[in-house]
Amino acid sequence: MNKKNKYGSERVAVIGAGSWGTTLALLLAGKGCEINLWEFFPDQARALIRDRENRKFLPGVKIPDNVHITSDLEIALAGASRILFVTPSHTMRQVAGQVASTSGFHKKMIAINASKGLEEKTLCRMSEVLSQELKLPSRRIVGLLGPSHAEEVSRKMPTSIVVAGPDITILEDIQDLFMTDYFRVYTNKDLIGVELGVSLKNTIAIAAGICDGLGFGDNTKAALLTRGLAETKRLACKLGARDGTLSGLAGVGDMIVTCMSRHSRNRYVGEEIGKGRSLNDILEEMVMVAEGVKTTRAAVMLSKRAHVELPITEQVHKVLFRRKDPRRAIRDLMIRKARNEMYR
């Protein structure tokens, strides 16, 4: 059976029409799915309908006719069997609560989280937020996460990502739904590790950007990524993740792309701080959300709760929120107590 025809009767609600939400909507539409793409702002929804293009986030990428755009959640949920959440982490709870109250929502739906981050007040992962608000069985909540810049996927550049959750049958179903000749999906039952890996690395990306802004070289970046991964593993494994997950796409993979890419919002924030700009000024001018800023606060609180040392994350926190001089922060990392590399 032709893959495009196979999914012709499939309707997916995509909640969030930013760059990544639009990109995933286009991917599924290309496989023949009918897509209900929900945009929070009515004016922006009207612009998307008028232009058939997300000029704000993905200029030049056309939106096909089988992507139906709306700012009404009731319309977005109508007839859908799967809900793809692609909203910023700080709005996830509110949006999920609204979804749960719509007439089209039902307990047989599968919720797919494609957002990276931690809820700052509760320290919850996004799947935990969805579980609390949607009241779905845990097996029906999965994460679709990994190293995947929308700017590249929307132009069909080869990309690999992970779908994670407890039920292998559902994982393989979602894997098949999203797989294309340019978008490869792997399954992983370690949802905790996948969600923590893609979230905690955002802080390390800010640190990488700071190094870029200060003019440091490849040696510094290599040390930062390696030691950043080590502390990410320490915390994630203490919270129930599997070590191997952090060595995969959601760990090493996402850290590489976020710390090295010109597309990375978090790396950009760090670079501008390294050049001497204030955090407030940087965030005020940004169109997209840099999840790492809020994640840094959450990560520090999580580390204290779990009694895990996160030296790089702690220094980034001081630079972001206590105005510590970035050069001093790097120096303080370098003169820490000598340790064995395998220190856990």
**Checking phi first, is residue 274 left (phi over 0); if not, alpha (psi -120 to 50) or beta?**
alpha
Cα distances from 251 to residues 149, 257, 260, in angstroms, run 15, 10, 14
| Euclidean distance between CA atoms 232 and 153, whole angstroms | 26
- Distances 21 to 115, 125, 126 between C-alpha atoms, Å: 9, 19, 16
Percent helix / strand / coil, the chain, rounded to 5: 55, 10, 35
Residues 6 or more apart whose CB falls under 8 angstroms from that of 82 comprise: 10, 12, 13, 109, 110, 111, 112, 174, 177
C-alpha separations of 133 from 127, 206, 239, 298 in Å: 10, 31, 22, 20
Does residue 331 sit in helix, strand or coil?
Answer: helix
Q: Please measure the distance between the N-terminal and C-terminal CA atoms of the chain and give it in whole angstroms.
A: 50
CB atoms within 10 A of CB 151: 16
Cβ(286)–Cβ(304) below 8 Å: no
Active-site residue, 318 included: no
- Closest by CA to 292, choosing from 116, 162, 124, 149, is 116
**Dihedral angle of Cα 75, 43, 57, 286, to the nearest 10 degrees:** -120
Strand partners, 145: 162
d(C-alpha 70, C-alpha 90), whole Å:
22
Catalytic residue among 201, 233, 294, 318: 201
Residues annotated as catalytic are: 201
